[in-house]
Structure 1
Amino acid sequence: MTLTSDTVVCASGLGGAAFDWEGVRRLLQDRYRVVRFDRRNLRPTLRSEAMRLAGLAEAAGGPVVVVAHSVAALHAEAFARLRPELVCGLVLVDPSCEVRTPSPSALRSLAWRVGGGLVSPFARAAGPALRRAVVRRQTVARRDPAPREAVRRHYGDGQILRAAAAELACYDAMVADLHALRRRAPFPPVGLVVLTAPDGPAWRGCHEGLAALSPCGRRIDVPRAAHLLHLEFPEVVAEAADDLAQGGRRTLLGGR
């Protein structure tokens, strides 16, 4: 049965903000309800973040298309496996991808948590500066399309830095939990598009494996893109989301 949806849920990666999806929202807003959210009150376990997506899908009347960037792809895949009835399709935007199951380190986890607590009181200065550094490194144009005041207000909040540090602390555990979940719960036969940034992390081979999770899966190279490709190429992300929301009937350029 072909599923369609009128709701697209956008999930940011590590330290991302809801306003990072503004370009995607503008392109989709006339046809879909576009849900964006900030994860200040992060509960950094795989299940809790998957259940956050499930709650948003239930509130929207599901099923939904989830567009997930980087580490949020772990949450989106877990959501699809745990609540397949709420999923119309997934667009994974240069997703985090680990072939091997990591061994979580309690010491490394503690270091990230302590570091987040130490930096958060200085968030007004440190937060926007960290944002600028990340955008310069992970975009092609090396400039931030977000309004400066929005960046200052969002990243000047100590909760944002603590949430990012908490997610880094739990990253290995989330990957291990996802690998275990893959052995227990099948991936549903829904539309799946994996967008790969050639200038991003060296995940192409792993991305091929992600696309193969679904018989409807496709991987697409986004030329000239870097890791934060949804900031610079929102039209590519919006086209993939629109296609899946309509049942995946179109052939997307470059898909394979």
Structure 2
Amino acid sequence: MRSGAGATPVRRRSHLFAGVVLTVLLGLSTGHARAGAQGFVAETYGQPHQLVAVRGTRRLNLVCLGQGTPTVVFLSGLGSGTFDWRRVQPAVGRLTRACAYDRAGYGFSDPLDGPADADNARSDLHALLRATMPGRVILVGHSLGGLYATLYAEAYPKDLAGLVLVDPAFPGQTRAIARAVGPSAARKLAGWQAAQIAMQEECVVLARRGLLSTPAEAGSACLDNPANADSDVHRDINREAITAAYESAVESELRNANLADASGRTRDDLEAARTRASLGSLPVVVLTHGDGSGLPGLDAGQLAREAAAWKAGHDAIARLSSDGASIVVPQAGHFIQLDQPGIVIEQIARILAKARR
């Protein structure tokens, strides 16, 4: 999701903050699961499944449903978990094998020793796919996970049968949005973003001291407050959020995706520049939220320019492939997979059919 002068918010808090894509601070509630599905959510996403060793002894948690090829692999956004795919993954699992995973430090996966940045995310995913998924896969990435999926496709094009990006972050978005909204608005957004990073630093401190699990922190902005209607997801979010590994991973991803140098480029931007900028004829679909929401503190004209810059970034990703499409999804916020899951499923099925032909 978007935040700051080019960022993406973490989806769990009542006081939502930034992450990697000046994205939409709209309906970020997790209460989208259907009634009666809570037991499934808890069983599927509330416990470890396959713990896969990657790049040494570190393990990543992999959650798979269904059978068939090619496998569809889901990448969640900043601060999000595998449960963000609960309205999409089961349906895709009826078509083929569908897998979601926890990045390092998230959920049931071991933390990284180094920075949580694009290079490490890509290297971990490469090791995970090599260990568990022979043949080509379809990557489906949301928000910051969409940036990681795009960079993976550029680095390892032969590994993929297709790419579906759900309101993804993209390289250079910080500069693009800052230019679009103008200097005064860009400074305002940068200040807001700095406040979100400072808040995340405090979350890391509280988690390391073991304080997020105490009654005194019941209303902490570090946790999922107030409780979501989907109580199982609420518990899963907070089970993660009280850990230092999770809070530290979020803080590192937040910094590397959003803090820019003097030239306006982030660490992830610099790493993205080292990969090739073509996807050949790989089937690619980029979905953009269409509910009109945007960043805080902008007037109508600035919001329109911000939305245009966001869409232009998505159009540019689609143009990396001769078989690319950029689609606006009406009545959907940044979490298109929760607001309009049928459209995400439809696009995955379309690319799956192409791959099988």
Give me the TM-score of the superposition, normalised by structure 2: 0.58
Residue pairs, 1:88-237, within 5 angstroms: 88-99=161-172, 114-115=201-202, 117-121=204-208, 122-124=211-213, 125=217, 129-130=221-222, 132=224, 147-171=233-257, 172-182=266-276, 186-199=278-291, 200-201=293-294, 202=307, 203-237=310-344
Contact 1:119/1:161 (8 A) holds in 2: no
The one-letter amino acid paired with 1:177 is E
The one-letter amino acid paired with 1:57 is L
Residue 72, structure 1, aligned to residue 145, structure 2: yes
Question: How far does the alpha carbon of each residue in 1:11-40 deviate from its partner, in whole angstroms, 9 at most, with x for none?
Answer: 011001011111111111112211111221
Of residues 216-225 and 39-48 in structure 1, the stretch that sits farther from structure 2 once superposed is 39-48
Contact 1:132/1:144 (8 A) holds in 2: no
Of residues 118-127 and 214-223 in structure 1, the stretch that sits farther from structure 2 once superposed is 118-127
Contact 2:256/2:267 (8 A) holds in 1: yes
What SS does structure 2 have at the residue aligned with 1:23? coil
Hey, what's the Cα distance between the residues in 2 that align with 1:23 and 1:113? 28
Displacement after TM superposition at 1:143 (Å): 6.3
Contact 1:74/1:174 (8 A) holds in 2: no
Hey, what's the Cα distance between the residues in 1 that align with 2:274 and 2:164? 22
Match of 2:304 in 1: none
Of residues 158-167 and 173-182 in structure 1, the stretch that sits farther from structure 2 once superposed is 173-182
Tell me how many residue pairs correspond in the alignment: 233
What SS does structure 2 have at the residue aligned with 1:52? helix
Of residues 62-71 and 172-181 in structure 1, the stretch that sits farther from structure 2 once superposed is 172-181
What SS does structure 2 have at the residue aligned with 1:88? strand
What SS does structure 2 have at the residue aligned with 1:36? strand
Contact 1:68/1:76 (8 A) holds in 2: yes
Displacement after TM superposition at 1:165 (Å): 0.6
Change in CA separation of 1:247 and 1:98 when aligned onto 2, cut-off 3 Å: same
Change in CA separation of 1:144 and 1:85 when aligned onto 2, cut-off 3 Å: same
Hey, what's the Cα distance between the residues in 1 that align with 2:336 and 2:272? 24
More helix by percentage? 1
Change in CA separation of 1:180 and 1:31 when aligned onto 2, cut-off 3 Å: same
Match of 2:20 in 1: none
Change in CA separation of 1:123 and 1:34 when aligned onto 2, cut-off 3 Å: farther
What SS does structure 1 have at the residue aligned with 2:273? helix
Contact 1:10/1:67 (8 A) holds in 2: yes
Residue 21, structure 1, aligned to residue 107, structure 2: no
What SS does structure 2 have at the residue aligned with 1:222? strand
Q: Percent identity?
A: 29
1:45 to 117, 124, 129: 117
Change in CA separation of 1:209 and 1:126 when aligned onto 2, cut-off 3 Å: farther
Q: Which has the larger radius of gyration?
A: 2
Give me the TM-score of the superposition, normalised by structure 1: 0.78
The one-letter amino acid paired with 2:122 is A
Report the aligned-residue RMSD.
Answer: 3.1
Displacement after TM superposition at 1:167 (Å): 0.4
Match of 1:85 in 2: 158
The one-letter amino acid paired with 1:193 is V
Change in CA separation of 1:228 and 1:128 when aligned onto 2, cut-off 3 Å: farther
Change in CA separation of 1:228 and 1:246 when aligned onto 2, cut-off 3 Å: same
